[in-house]
Structure 1
């Protein structure tokens, strides 16, 4: 697992990553920091965006990525998509999807969650983790919008969010969903063998988590951890949501995403990906690293992650195009 997480930090430098989607612009990239509201110090995030500067090979470890490193954002006011990674992951876990959005004209900022990432996982498997993530997500959004180089090129009325697994939970809370940690026990009573929350004992967590961010206008939630969303959890959500489920998800089991699907607002979209596993939504890995990385780089037999991501990235761009284009323009 440690080798997997180290390799994940290098994924932004893989050759060819992010080439799916419209080739409307060169892609710029930079690293930014945000004040972490949950821990002392700063968190970081990776930002991708359209630019007119030429792309160059940028070396990260043994890998290279073709980006315009540190280049200016192309003139104009662009929609923004904030990205939240899964538990123990990295801001680079969805780099291909982020770059597909950037090529389509979006600014994309992927949050690296302090306390629940590959290099600092102190909050994993605790109630603290679920409380901290939405606060970090909104703090990172504040930082993007206030940045003199990036924020001035963002249309504040066209902001979306994308997250996977614990990141999917994060963006659902940011959209206005109310999480109740106490109802996980009820979920486990109905699904006692659920691998994510119940198989090794029911978490003794309590408390509601409400952290709506009204700036979020559209959400893509991929295999979200969702045992803490009960009846009425999304009563205050108005943003359109596209929910992705994986047919062969052995991490969340076969109940969590389907139960949250049935509780989402009627304007939501649902896609069950045939043959996909839980990790199939993470960026495809180079073949030479798959065996070493292990489960997060592997898919159920017969599933082609690279081919799926070509489709996934097109669908994500299309969803945000449809649901942010008509949003109110803001500062």
Structure 2
């Protein structure tokens, strides 16, 4: 019990028990997006009991369509990573619901499990506004609008969703900085620049792969515009293993809202020294909610994606490294919930 991630276990359990007394289950519903936006998946406190449900390869316990119950009156939006689904953050959503929050997950355009056509900077330009419209979608729904005060909303994002989170915390980035980063560090941060298209193997073709990647990136991402997004309703942000090499780190030295970070020491998709470490070093007021020294990039996918539905490269980049213990993740989720509870449900 002396592991640093378990020091607040008793407090977390007591908070969960108190919250569980207020409602029976974790409700689940889907709201239509605005215009051409994809659906918004909503997890929420419910009076209904949880039952076993299947969503894709995942087996979950939820209360689909259950009547909403009053929680703490606050909303948290979760932004998934590239190719993500609303189910890979179900454990965090449950922890937030147990703490009284309603949780909304927008489906990001052309960068989700149904459609992976356009990840990277093209998606990063769209994602923050999709978060804002997800808040609007919840605000329009007659089941949730009476239960929520939307002047202080929380936002969590992981990986590409972490990029979205940094944008909503006040950071500025540009596609040209992404291009410059990949030109300078293509060998050391190849997966961040190329994704799942191919990998370096140490073979004779590696030079061709690097040159081709730099050529394509240089052609597509020479836009030097600074991209930012401000939503005054977002009052606290958590970024998990964020894509961050293309941010102006100085823009996050003093975030516009409280910013928490969750980092992984053995991240092979987003090499920490180019991504999360830059933000940790720049942002002295940020809270390091958790650092998982033995974790890989996919540690914050919980439940994890089953290995049988992933390709070899995806498994290599997202799979848990030897020695990583997923038993620490519920405490990480409780810490994230506690961060949002502190910044959204207390004070003026």
Normalising by structure 2, report the TM-score. 0.79
Contact 1:174 1:216 in 2 (8 A): yes
Matching residue of 1:6: none
Matching residue of 2:3: none
Q: Give 2:167's match in structure 1, choosing from 173, 195, 213.
A: 173
Matching residue of 1:82: 77
Q: Which has the larger radius of gyration?
A: 2
Contact 2:74 2:150 in 1 (8 A): yes
- Is structure 2 residue 193 aligned with structure 1 residue 197? yes
SS at match of 2:16: coil
- Is structure 2 residue 284 aligned with structure 1 residue 290? no
In 1, distance between residues paired with 2:238 and 2:333? 11
Matching residue of 1:58: 53
1:229-240 maps to which residues of 2 (within 5 A)? 229-234=247-252, 237-240=255-258
Contact 2:254 2:285 in 1 (8 A): no
In 2, distance between residues paired with 1:251 and 1:180? 20
SS at match of 1:244: strand
Unaligned runs of 5+ in 2: 1-12, 195-209
Matching residue of 1:310: 330
Matching residue of 2:259: 241
- Is structure 2 residue 95 aligned with structure 1 residue 100? yes
Residue 63 of structure 1 deviates from its aligned partner by 5.6
In 2, distance between residues paired with 1:317 and 1:76? 13
Unaligned runs of 5+ in 1: 1-18
1:1-331 maps to which residues of 2 (within 5 A)? 22-23=16-17, 24=20, 25=23, 26-36=25-35, 41-60=36-55, 64-75=59-70, 78-125=73-120, 127-188=121-182, 191-192=185-186, 193-195=188-190, 196-197=192-193, 200-201=213-214, 203-204=217-218, 205=221, 206=223, 207-234=225-252, 237-255=255-273, 256-264=275-283, 266-270=284-288, 271-285=290-304, 289-293=306-310, 294-295=315-316, 298-305=319-326, 307-328=327-348
Residue 254 of structure 1 deviates from its aligned partner by 2.7
In 1, distance between residues paired with 2:162 and 2:33? 20
TM-superposition CA deviations, 1:107-142 (whole Å, max 9, x none): 0011111211111122124x3212111121111111
Residue 273 of structure 1 deviates from its aligned partner by 1.1
SS at match of 1:145: helix
CA, structure 1 residues 240+63, in 2 after alignment: closer, same or farther (shift >3 Å)?
A: closer
Contact 1:171 1:219 in 2 (8 A): yes
Identify, as 1 or 2, the structure richer in strand: 1
In 1, distance between residues paired with 2:162 and 2:122? 17
Contact 1:87 1:124 in 2 (8 A): yes
SS at match of 1:232: helix
Residue 314 of structure 1 deviates from its aligned partner by 1.4
In 1, distance between residues paired with 2:56 and 2:81? 23
Contact 1:77 1:155 in 2 (8 A): no
Contact 1:217 1:327 in 2 (8 A): no
CA, structure 1 residues 173+29, in 2 after alignment: closer, same or farther (shift >3 Å)?
A: same
Contact 1:177 1:212 in 2 (8 A): no
CA, structure 1 residues 21+295, in 2 after alignment: closer, same or farther (shift >3 Å)?
A: farther
In 1, distance between residues paired with 2:316 and 2:39? 26
TM-superposition CA deviations, 1:64-120 (whole Å, max 9, x none): 533221122213651111000001111222110001110111100111112111111
CA, structure 1 residues 22+292, in 2 after alignment: closer, same or farther (shift >3 Å)?
A: same
Contact 1:276 1:300 in 2 (8 A): yes
SS at match of 1:35: coil
Matching residue of 1:8: none
CA, structure 1 residues 63+226, in 2 after alignment: closer, same or farther (shift >3 Å)?
A: closer
